[in-house]
Structure 1
């Protein structure tokens, strides 16, 4: 069985890029295709992989330029990537991986993190919510076109895989798909350890973008005065740094070991966004650390919320996406004792080995079904 893996772009470090690494563990002989690849921007493990890129590679030297050129040049570039003579094409996708040129021979599996956010949930971008007049008119026209292109491209999929029940429903709503297999993204528990003596700081690990709501955490910690370490970069970095008090420290470009130590020694991870899935809460759990999370989205399916017994919980949820609600949750957290070993054991249920086994089983079963007919 000859397999190709297609991913949107490999230019940054995020949960989707980690999932692709695990897909390669499941199918180590697979060829990898993507819109553009920046070895300095994404995980170093990809340096050992033969990655085939689109023609946009020559113009996309940064995430900023990739995003600027995506419409229409990125779409055109991906449509011209030929992924031919494969038995299985496994697409890791939010926006453009499904546009590639696939021949009729292949069975196509589309692992969708969420339908293209700009097309189906434009209000998650500040550029859209802040636009007015002619700018909003142009935005709406582009979004209408993107929806049509995106939905049409999705019809190439023979089988769909989603992360959670919530994202599976989004896939149904956007693409009209009925049957969706749910395989949650993995956490590489081997990369994390439990510390005997956590230190006196909270941790936030995130891309610094509008919908990630890091500003909410900064507002809360400006008021509380407790130490917060923020790890990540993005278009809102300068703005967030400008609003932060001295008790808030920013870090980026960390090694895996440095990040592992920050997880292991934090009091808790702060997770203020409504996320499609959210791998960082599971990474915190793999380090034996609890999470203070906005109680919506993927955390509802990956975390065990505090409901009166702290040593049988992995997280505290706050119900409103406000500074006051987050501060109330932090205050509650300070009165409780969580069980690090219980939290770590919970994370192991989402380990890489579980994802690899489930993905192999699903693809092999469906491919063999095709061979029968």
Structure 2
């Protein structure tokens, strides 16, 4: 199969795009949204970087091209390094203080407030939205329940703040020239929250670092941060009800103790594990189990890149990643309908009753989400926005491909 190499020489030509600013909510860890920032900076290596706070690990700063972000006043507030999220009510004010008036193109990478930067009519603003602010929009009631703030004065104060955030978030949507969503699911959220359409560009996944597993063993796998919406204890409970099925759990977080409390002898909790161990288990697992309603689901792509099928909740962006089909040339997993023990147990039993999924089919499906594809599609959106909003001269494609055997 031909190798495809991205040549972004024209994309890096400042004469075509002028001065470029890239705005991200906050820089504290190298996770899914930061991988998007990494790829955008590869397209625009001369872009100036802005963020509410920048506490990015020094050992990983190379993914940002060695850049340090211009930060807001929140960077210097007490306990900001460990608790900057507690300053969320101040973030709309903070993001509006960035003076971006000298830039021709502003790109925001937003799951909270980054899309709210102020831009003028002479500027083009392209916003890659990982999600509208989840806890302020459709997931408000879920977050309040998980935080134990459904009643009382504190609950009403938080509800009032979230009401303010929604008003601000909706108003600032008018400053965006082109929305990009990381899935069609998020695109529908954008439509409901902002009344705007969005182009879907799936986030980049480094599928090349995964190899096809050669031998699947008799255990199921979860690998995730143990936060409430991931529903890890629920999956552990389901396997506790299936003592003949083995489950391995990789990850750490606030829900670790809850998961451990309901674990039975057939469930092994490994806690945090280095990347090499995670990949090894992904390659050997019988199936990867996923019970969260996610905007996208990078770990689901990674499991399929290892040739491992997925048993997942059939909601959210995962429906765009997993192919639930009995056709061995198409199927990469199956869905369950509800976040409860009975639904997960039923899905595992249905999985066991099906013919084996083919590893090469799973991997081929995962290859739809490469970094090369992300760069090509994202640049298409940027060029179109520049052309539509500034009379941008579309004389030659910014991305060229060289194919070699």
TM, length-normalised to structure 2: 0.83
The offset of 1:100, in angstroms, is: 3.1
Query: For residue 106 of structure 1, what is the aligned residue in structure 2?
Result: 123
Are the counterparts in 1 of residues 216 and 285 from structure 2 also a CA contact under 8 Å?
Answer: yes
Which has the bigger relative contact order, CA under 8 A and spacing at least 6? Answer: 2
Query: For residue 291 of structure 1, what is the aligned residue in structure 2?
Result: 310
Unaligned runs of 5+ in 1: none
Deviation sequence 1:20-42 (CA, Å, 0-9, x none) = 22222333332222222333499
Query: For residue 370 of structure 2, what is the aligned residue in structure 1?
Result: 351
User: Which range moved further: 60-69 or 343-352?
Assistant: 60-69
Judging changes above 3 Å, is the alpha-carbon distance between structure 1 residues 228 and 23 closer, same or farther for their aligned structure 2 residues?
farther
Q: Secondary structure at the match of 1:143?
A: helix
Q: Does 1:207 align with 2:225?
A: yes
Are the counterparts in 1 of residues 118 and 175 from structure 2 also a CA contact under 8 Å?
Answer: no
Are the counterparts in 2 of residues 26 and 359 from structure 1 also a CA contact under 8 Å?
Answer: no
The offset of 1:318, in angstroms, is: 0.9
Are the counterparts in 1 of residues 20 and 105 from structure 2 also a CA contact under 8 Å?
Answer: yes
User: Which range moved further: 293-302 or 52-61?
Assistant: 52-61
Unaligned runs of 5+ in 2: 1-16, 393-405
> Following the alignment from structure 2 to structure 1, what is the Cα–Cα distance between the partners of residues 207 and 224?
19
Deviation sequence 1:229-267 (CA, Å, 0-9, x none) = 333343333333333345231332623x33322322222
Are the counterparts in 2 of residues 305 and 314 from structure 1 also a CA contact under 8 Å?
Answer: yes
Q: Secondary structure at the match of 2:176?
A: coil
> Following the alignment from structure 1 to structure 2, what is the Cα–Cα distance between the partners of residues 347 and 194?
11
Q: Does 1:66 align with 2:84?
A: yes
The offset of 1:355, in angstroms, is: 0.9
Query: For residue 336 of structure 2, what is the aligned residue in structure 1?
Result: 318
Q: Does 1:220 align with 2:238?
A: yes
1:262 to 281, 291, 315: 281
Q: Does 1:17 align with 2:37?
A: no
Q: Does 1:137 align with 2:156?
A: yes
Judging changes above 3 Å, is the alpha-carbon distance between structure 1 residues 271 and 103 closer, same or farther for their aligned structure 2 residues?
same
Query: For residue 166 of structure 1, what is the aligned residue in structure 2?
Result: 185
Are the counterparts in 1 of residues 180 and 201 from structure 2 also a CA contact under 8 Å?
Answer: yes
Are the counterparts in 2 of residues 39 and 47 from structure 1 also a CA contact under 8 Å?
Answer: no
Are the counterparts in 2 of residues 34 and 51 from structure 1 also a CA contact under 8 Å?
Answer: no
The offset of 1:218, in angstroms, is: 1.5
Query: For residue 332 of structure 1, what is the aligned residue in structure 2?
Result: 350
User: Which range moved further: 151-160 or 43-52?
Assistant: 43-52
1:29 to 46, 52, 55: 46
> Following the alignment from structure 2 to structure 1, what is the Cα–Cα distance between the partners of residues 306 and 79?
34
In our comparison, the structure showing a higher alpha carbon Rg is 2
> Following the alignment from structure 1 to structure 2, what is the Cα–Cα distance between the partners of residues 265 and 352?
25
Query: For residue 197 of structure 1, what is the aligned residue in structure 2?
Result: 215
The offset of 1:310, in angstroms, is: 4.1
> Following the alignment from structure 2 to structure 1, what is the Cα–Cα distance between the partners of residues 79 and 271?
23
> Following the alignment from structure 1 to structure 2, what is the Cα–Cα distance between the partners of residues 42 and 239?
32
Judging changes above 3 Å, is the alpha-carbon distance between structure 1 residues 231 and 28 closer, same or farther for their aligned structure 2 residues?
farther
Q: Secondary structure at the match of 1:92?
A: strand
> Following the alignment from structure 1 to structure 2, what is the Cα–Cα distance between the partners of residues 339 and 127?
38
> Following the alignment from structure 1 to structure 2, what is the Cα–Cα distance between the partners of residues 322 and 44?
40
Are the counterparts in 1 of residues 126 and 385 from structure 2 also a CA contact under 8 Å?
Answer: no
> Following the alignment from structure 2 to structure 1, what is the Cα–Cα distance between the partners of residues 59 and 257?
21
Judging changes above 3 Å, is the alpha-carbon distance between structure 1 residues 79 and 371 closer, same or farther for their aligned structure 2 residues?
closer
TM, length-normalised to structure 1: 0.90
Q: Does 1:250 align with 2:309?
A: no
The offset of 1:55, in angstroms, is: 2.7
Are the counterparts in 1 of residues 333 and 357 from structure 2 also a CA contact under 8 Å?
Answer: no
Judging changes above 3 Å, is the alpha-carbon distance between structure 1 residues 103 and 245 closer, same or farther for their aligned structure 2 residues?
farther
2:109 to 83, 89, 92: 92
The residue correspondences of 1:136-155 to structure 2 (distance < 5 A) are 136-155=155-174
